[in-house]
Chain A
Amino acid sequence: MVSFILRGTGQRLAALLLLIWSLGPVYWALATSLMKPRDIATSPINFFPPEITFEHYRKLLGGLIGLPDETGIWYDFLRALINSLVLAGGATVLTTAIAALAAYAAVRLRFPGRNLVFYMIVATLAVPGYTVLIPLYRMMVSLGLVDTYSGIILIYISAYLPLAMWLMRSVYESLPLSIEEAAYLDGAGRLYTMIRIVIPLATPGLIAAAILTFLGAWGQFSVPLVFAPTAATKPLTVLIPEFATKNYVDYGLINAAGILAMIPPALVVMFLNRFLLNGLMAGAGK
């Protein structure tokens, strides 16, 4: 009994620590984003904003709703937000679609070198991104793809496809082949079976792949730092650090932008999560 209570307490303590560990920085960013600049770098530190202000958020969003604004920051922010959405969204849709087809081929189609191709794609996971950055840059320059959506999305796809394919492969492997065979015998072709039977059953896996890719692409820093030099493609991750200049680090603004930048991925996860139905496969077999 005592050990039971102790264990329960221990578990709660562990959960609490984990919560502080993961939500602490978020709280800290939120608190800082609501403080006046003079309250931010004080000693002792303010754990709560002594006085709440929305001036940082106003700088980032004010222009959008027509408030007078002299810095022009809102425009850069909006531009970068759109870039982030296009880059991460495009990479997510394409990566998931390609992984869905490629992994299926790797699992179900028989062709020479099938496993070799798959493992070579997955093996690129082991190559650290920065080691290929310079040759990649030269390649992208010669292709005229630097500072273009398609160029950066292409890089994201090559970065996240192996993981998505790996994930999708195990999803397909867990689907009983006999369900597809039953569809063939019912008169369905390969493509029809893929669309009507396989994809619906693999949806949880596709959602998981989409979430992973979106979160990864949304948070990318080094790739856009190199390949997105101008406002045309520069995403939030590259824009936000620019709020720290040589003379003045605008902590309030950086944290307010950070809080806003958290919203889209949170929404994506919440939205897609609804499709992550458990037990979709239940009832197929015995």
Chain B
Amino acid sequence: MTDVKISQLRKSYGIQTALHGLDIEMESGEFVVLVGPSGCGKSTLLRMIAGLESITSGTIAFAGRVVNNIAAKDRDIAMVFQNYALYPHMTVRENMGFSLKLRDVGEAERNASVEAAAKSLGLGHLLDRYPRQLSGGQRQRVAMGRAVVRKPALFLFDEPLSNLDAKLRVQMRTEIKQMHKRVKATMIYVTHDQVEAMTMGDRIVVMRDGRVEQVGKPIELYDRPVNEFVAGFLGSPSMNFIEGTLGEDRQSVVLSDGSRVYLPCAVGGAAGQPVKLGLRPEELQPSDRGLSFEIDVIEPTGAETIVMLRNPALIGEASLCLLLRERYDLSPGQAITIAPKPGSGHVFDAESGNRLLPDRVVEIAKVALR
């Protein structure tokens, strides 16, 4: 168990900068997810924490001790790689016991540890197989077992589930969380999949282009994204944005077709300022009064129905996504009037994308449609 403190961490590859001075603190025993689109620097950050990548400037500290100059092999870290990186010429038992052998753990004790870890991962009967004789899911478990056996202070995962099929991914998600509860170590988990981030993280660090956009608990990030990027990145289907301008009272948004959306309280920003109104698909519902659309496509998934709506006057060629948990009798081409559910909606500055917080009230702006 260890806490991790990252201060002003920078990474450059020649003239290209991959990380621009990150500050992140992770508590001991926490499950932190680093999430962001491909190429945003998640792996680079994880590898710097592991000691596999050099630090351009800034510090990484474990339990108050700066580890910048400590070699990877002495950092007491286990990492699960995206491609598993099993030792192909060793059996599952040897793979899992390799680190213990290096630390001169006796054979009997080593076997006991390996067998206990294998049992908890359902690998008990595979110990004498080679990696090539295992399925993808089994290899993934061996990679996890290799990490668990060591009882490290810190676990790192770099997109460990991205090579598994959808069903197995959901199952492994749960197993990793269970493992976290069991071993109680600090874990840092990298993924580009926002569903994984939301479901697994105690806290989520959202990254973009080598910068931290927002850090917080999953629901916090979901409900109060600091900018348009975070708002659009978390949630599936993702948030709808409708362009408009802030009314002169700063308590309403005027949309391009002239309709006006009233806000319950004033938000920061100037009258007439271009803004984006953010509405999550599940925050919208059919209503007697509100904004009119034409139904374009209906995608029933069983539990819920995704409806794509069109209104060129309001949103141009883009579609507005509506997610319905109740079943309605809808068909493509039909006209529909929708309104947001009470207590939902977000307002962002159109230029910077930053959230426009209410002047006084910290609670999010509740948007009402006329």
Contacts and interface: CB of A to CB of B under 8 A. Distances in A.
Interface string A165-200: 000000000001011011111111100100001001
Given A284-B131, A285-B83, A181 B139 contact: no
Interface stretch (A151-159, A207-215, A248-256, A274-282): A274-282
Interface in B85-106: 85-89, 98-99, 102-103
B134 A283 contact: yes
A244 B158 CA distance: 70
A38 interface: no
A286 interface: yes
Interface of A: 176, 178-179, 181-189, 192, 197, 200-201, 279-286
Contact of A284 (B71, B85, B98): B85
Interface in B54-82: 71-75, 77-79, 81-82
Given A178-B85, A283-B88, 15 more contacts: A185-B72, A185-B78, A186-B98, A186-B102, A187-B73, A187-B74, A187-B103, A192-B102, A200-B89, A281-B88, A283-B130, A283-B131, A284-B88, A285-B84, A286-B83
A179 to B, nearest CB: 5
Contacts of B78: 185
B199 interface: no
Contacts of B150: 186
B85 A179 contact: yes
A183 B78 CA distance: 10
Given A283-B139, A286-B83, A286-B163, A186 B88 contact: no
B232 interface: no
B73 A189 contact: yes
Contacts of A279: 132
Contacts of B38: none
B102 A187 contact: yes
B133 interface: yes
Interface in B15-53: 50-52
B146 interface: yes
Nearest to A192: B102
